[in-house]
Amino acid sequence: MSKLIIKTAFAFLLVYSMNGCLNPFAPPIEAPPHPWESRLEPTSPENVLENFRTAYTSRDSSLYFSCLNEAFIFRYWNDSLSRYDSYTLYDVEGKPGERTRTRFLFSTYESINLDVWNIIESSQRFEDSDTIELRRVWFSLRVEDFDFYIVQSAQGYACFEFHKIVQNSKPYYTIILWKDESQII
């Protein structure tokens, strides 16, 4: 009889170990889709802005930088100087550029939310033989660092200008200018 109990227990353990843990109160956790899986082709400014938003909220620097043109400029109001200031994609003369600043932002905060992200204005401007696409976005940004209990929020407008190139009769857009008109709240 004891051999039968041992064989039954062994068979039960073998079957149980092959099936893994079957706890109905702890279903398997599915990995969230990688942002690249939901990446839109940058064939319109709207697609680029959606990729931009996805990259920000998922803290994906590769996707984020793919939205930016090599000649990218970020322009913002500098309160201490009472004027607009700007920086480019790359570090210049010891001043961090967008790549450095964004990597720091993405690595510092555990949560970045852009819950409000509405394109409120679309227009075009003509320069030489180029058409510059313009989009104005109303947004609400919230960043959180859980380790130090830091929560910061900004709200306002972001104005984007897009550079277009055509490859194989298809337009591709990148952000050439981001003018921040938001306020920290």
pLDDT higher than threshold 60 for residue 8? no
The amino acid sitting at 81 is: L
List Cβ neighbours of 36 (8 Å cut-off, separation of 6 or more).
60, 62, 63
Q: What is the mean pLDDT of residues 126-150?
A: 92
pLDDT band at residue 65 under the 50/70/90 scheme = very high
What is the pLDDT at residue 13? 44
Could you please state the CATH topology (level 3) that the domain comprising 41-184 is classified under.
Nuclear Transport Factor 2; Chain: A, (3.10.450)
- Dist CA 50 CA 53 (whole Å): 5
What is the pLDDT at residue 84? 93
DSSP E strand stretches across 128-168: 130-145, 150-167
> Can you give the residue ranges of every domain in the chain?
41-184
Sheet holding 170-184, edge to edge: 83-88, 68-78, 170-184, 150-167, 130-145, 111-127
pLDDT higher than threshold 50 for residue 81? yes
pLDDT band at residue 10 under the 50/70/90 scheme = very low
- Dist CA 14 CA 8 (whole Å): 10
